Each structure stands twice: as structure tokens, then as C-alpha cells.
Structure 1
Amino acid sequence: MPAHQGLRVFIIDDNEMTRDLLRAIIQGDSYDVVGDAGTAESARLRLRSVRADIICLDVVMPDGDGLSLLNWIRVKQPEAEVLMVTASTDRVTVEQSLRNGAKGYIVKPFNPGTVMDTLDKIGAQIKARRAAGRA
């Protein structure tokens, strides 16, 4: 039995402080942060060898956008759920993210309670889906 039973989380954001803050909020008994990336390209490279249950994804990055990366993730890691964590508040971006499979959308600046509440809802969905698959 693995020592850590938490769901695996991967963080993609071009701001190092945001990645560090999310890691500090998320890492614990329920979640294990298994990696992060600051660009779309580095995220693609790292996600080829790292499996995540939940991916926290920013929309605006220096070498691409989170919406394109969301579509790539849906193909390459279809079991992973995506939580958008971004400063982008325009309605089109929010709607497109959710339509393309994101399970949640958190606007920066965020508070730790909102992050954890949203992760817990997504985590409960993952665990229910896995339990149904074993039944």
C-alpha cells in the first residue's frame, strides 16, 4: 500500500509565486503535488511522464494559452480533471474552459478556502468514479 493516499495534483502557472502558493495550500494528507510547470511547453514535457489526478491550469502563459493546453490534456491524460486558476474573468474564456472539460474555475487572487473547497469537490467526483469502476 502506498505511503501517501492523496490525489496527485500538477500545477501549471507562469508565475512562480502562484505555483509556490498553490503548492503550500494544496500539499497535505488529501493531495500530493507531483510537479509544476511555468510554460505550456514545459507542462507538455513533464505531463508525458507524470500522471496527475487534478491539474491546476492558468489561462495566460508566455508561450501559449491554457485553453489550448486544456484540449491537449483532455487527449493525453483523459482521466485527469482540470481546475482553471487564472486572472482571466471574461465570460467567453470561462464558458469555453467549462465547455472544453474544466471541472472548475477559480479567479485570482484566490483564497485558500476556495481552492480547497473546489479541489475537494473535484476529488470527491474522482473517488466516486473510481469506486463505481471497481463495483
Structure 2
Amino acid sequence: MAKNVLVCDDAAFMRMMIKDILTKNGYNVAGEAENGAKAVEKYNELHPDLVLMDITMPEMDGIQALKKIKEGDPKAVVIMCSAMGQQAMVVEAIQSGARDFIVKPFQADRVLEAVKKVIG
């Protein structure tokens, strides 16, 4: 059975890019969110196997959303995505329970390597 993934990024083209990489490799993109608040909402609705979460988003950033998701489901699996130069935020994300992080701009093999590492 294909693993379900929730893709959270405020940039539509980034969501499209990630979706493309995942679907071509047998994963199912169960939902998308354009901000942290929507990500929490969608997570609670869909209970995906994995969340790919951008750090910098409007309304609620990825780290706040990660904390909220982990509060409701301590077993939630989240990989953070960040642009270069956000190391401090990446450290906070890992301390808050993120399993891995991917740096933008994405390379398909790095995305897949991270996803396979955490959900197979």
C-alpha cells in the first residue's frame, strides 16, 4: 500500500515539485497545506504517514505547526524543509520532534532518501 504524505509549503510550485517527486516514486500525496494552521487541520483530518513541512509559512510557521501536530499525535512523522541559512530553525525543528530536514532548492534524490529513511 502506498504511504500517504501531507505536503505543506506556502509556495504552490514547491508543493507541485514535491508532489511530482513523490508520486513518480510510488507515494500518495494525501493532501496539501499552504500554511501551518492548515497543516495541523489537514493532519488531524488525514492522519498521513508523513508530513513534509516548510519552516517559513504565513499564519503559523512550520515549527509551531510541528509542535501542535506532535502534541496531538506524538508518533507523527515530520520532515522539515528549509531554505539555506535557517540552521538555527532546523535545530529547533529537530529538537521539537522532526525526523529529518531537506534543504531547498530540492534535489529529488535527497527528498526520496529522507522519505525512505523515515517511512520506508
TM-score normalized with structure 2 length: 0.91
Q: By how many angstroms is 1:47 displaced?
A: 2.0
Alignment of 1:1-135 (within 5 A): 5-28=1-24, 30-87=26-83, 89-124=85-120
Q: By how many angstroms is 1:78 displaced?
A: 2.5
Q: Give the Cα–Cα distance (whole angstroms) in 2 for the partners of residues 88 and 73 of structure 1.
A: 24
Moved segments of 4+, more than 3 Å: none
Q: Give the Cα–Cα distance (whole angstroms) in 2 for the partners of residues 23 and 79 of structure 1.
A: 23
Q: Give the Cα–Cα distance (whole angstroms) in 1 for the partners of residues 14 and 76 of structure 2.
A: 21
Q: Give the Cα–Cα distance (whole angstroms) in 2 for the partners of residues 13 and 96 of structure 1.
A: 18
Point out the structure with max Rg over C-alpha. Answer: 1
> Contact 1:53–1:79 at 8 Å: present in 2 too?
no
Q: Give the Cα–Cα distance (whole angstroms) in 2 for the partners of residues 37 and 22 of structure 1.
A: 13
Q: By how many angstroms is 1:28 displaced?
A: 4.5
Matched length: 120
Q: Give the Cα–Cα distance (whole angstroms) in 1 for the partners of residues 25 and 75 of structure 2.
A: 21
Structure 1 residues 91 and 14, CA, compared in 2 at 3 Å: closer, same or farther? same
> Contact 1:58–1:84 at 8 Å: present in 2 too?
yes
Q: Partner letter of residue 14 of structure 2?
A: T
Gaps of 5+ in 1: 125-135
User: SS where residue 115 of structure 1 aligns?
Assistant: helix
Identity of aligned residues (%): 28
Q: By how many angstroms is 1:84 displaced?
A: 0.5
